[in-house]
Amino acid sequence: MAANTSDRVLVDEWRALLALHARTLSELDRALHQQGLGASDFEVLDVLAEGAADDGGGAYRVQELASRVHLSQSALSRLVARLERDGLVCRGMCSEDRRGVRVELTEKGRTRHTEARPLQRAVLARMLGEHRG
């Protein structure tokens, strides 16, 4: 009986986490839409912006970026292609591995990230704050 109760608690916690993620993602998409972005779009811009702040470069290989934003490489490639068409990122060949592709923010991408960041952080504070409270 104890194992069943333990399993039930574990499954309930997992489902609550999934529900929080789904609600938060929906709220992020809604808020960021006014900036012409979705939650995944913003996440890519945010990771690139953080990389630029940390090391001054901010360019990531697609594989590195995929692991940081938790998207498959093919989904990320489509997203990056869309961001590139919108002028928010640029792609180039890796100097250390000519088969690799590096992605970095453009000036327009930095501006869009700066404008959207307060919206994203407010949604996170509200949604995660409700969860903690």
The whole model's pTM is what? 0.86
CB atoms within 10 A of CB 116: 21
pLDDT (0 to 100) of residue 59: 82
What are the pLDDT digits (tens) for 2-38? Answer: 568 889 999 999 999 999 999 999 999 999 999 999 9
Structure tokens at 101: 């592709």
CB 75, CB 83: distance < 8 Å:
no
Beta bridge partners of 120: none
DSSP of 112-126, one letter per residue?
HHHHHHHHHHHHHHH
Residues whose CB is less than 8 angstroms from the CB of residue 23 and which lie 6 or more positions away in sequence, other chains included: 127
What are the pLDDT digits (tens) for 35-65? Answer: 999 999 999 999 999 887 666 566 888 888 9
What domains are defined for the chain? 2-132 (1.10.10.10)
What are the pLDDT digits (tens) for 86-132? Answer: 999 999 876 666 667 889 999 999 999 999 999 999 999 999 987 66
CB 38, CB 83: distance < 8 Å:
no
What are the pLDDT digits (tens) for 78-88? Answer: 999 999 999 99
